[in-house]
């Protein structure tokens, strides 16, 4: 469901506010499914948006940490046997509220001007929980949800597990926070000098405030 918000319509029809890109500027579905590292930058004209993260991922230590975390998540959390019960528990929780307050859709105010309002039925909601597919109708929804929720977890999880197949999960060097990074002596000295100045200024300011208040 991600970037979409379920809202009810009369006659047990749900719609979602579609906050994603349209077909012209969208990310290729196969890339989004199989690429676990650079998928967000494959959309046209996004280089500037991802400048910071792109350069972070060029650092070997950060990249190794990312791969290790991804390997653990795709095996310990993002897997069908791990999330199936959760998905159905959430569905059970919201099922009664989906057709509730059918007039709320008429007062919907959204800032999206180029998007499309997706319309789904309660049957679509139930079908799409596991491996069922929602029928595409160009007049009422966008053709960007070709998978059931559990099907997506399985396919996306398989892709990320395949990508991290060679990651050594027994070596927690890159994932542990208990890891010291040694700074060059010149940097360390400069940092100590700046830190000392900051501490001194802090004490002076603190004493000044103390005497002013008391």
Mean pLDDT in consecutive groups of 10 residues from the start of the chain, 214 residues: 44 43 55 76 64 82 88 92 94 84 60 68 87 84 83 93 91 64 55 54 49 40
Q: How far is CA 147 from the centre of its chain?
A: 18
Q: How far are the Cα atoms of 5, 60, 94, 178, 213 from residue 15, in angstroms, in the given order?
A: 8, 44, 15, 47, 59
Query: What is the DSSP-derived secondary structure letter of residue 186?
Result: H
Q: What is the pLDDT of residue 30?
A: 75
Q: Which two tokens stand for residue 70?
A: 């991804």
> Which strand ranges, in their side-by-side order, compose the sheet holding 4-9?
4-9, 13-18, 117-121
Q: What is the pLDDT of residue 140?
A: 74
Q: What is the pLDDT of residue 131?
A: 94
Q: What is the pLDDT of residue 79?
A: 92
pTM: 0.63
């Amino acid at each position: 469901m991600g970037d979409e918000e379920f809202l009810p319509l009369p006659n047990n029809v749900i719609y979602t506010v579609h906050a994603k890109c349209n077909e012209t500027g969208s990310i290729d579905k196969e890339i989004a499914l199989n690429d676990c590292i650079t998928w967000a930058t494959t959309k046209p004209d996004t280089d500037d948006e991802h400048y910071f993260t792109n350069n972070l991922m060029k650092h070997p230590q950060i990249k190794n940490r990312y791969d290790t975390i991804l390997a653990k998540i795709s095996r310990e959390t993002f897997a069908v046997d791990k999330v199936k019960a959760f998905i159905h528990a959430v569905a059970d929780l919201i099922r009664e509220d989906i057709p509730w307050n059918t007039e709320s859709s008429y007062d919907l105010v959204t800032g999206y001007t180029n998007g499309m309002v997706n319309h789904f039925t309660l049957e679509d909601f139930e079908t799409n929980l596991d491996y069922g597919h929602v029928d595409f109708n160009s007049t009422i929804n966008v053709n960007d949800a070709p998978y059931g929720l559990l099907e997506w977890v399985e396919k996306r999880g398989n892709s990320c597990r395949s990508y991290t197949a060679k990651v050594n999960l027994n070596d927690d060097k890159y994932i542990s926070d208990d890891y010291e990074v040694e700074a060059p002596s010149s940097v360390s000295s400069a940092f100590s000098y700046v830190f000392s100045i900051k501490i001194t200024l802090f004490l002076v300011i603190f004493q000044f405030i103390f005497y002013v208040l008391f």
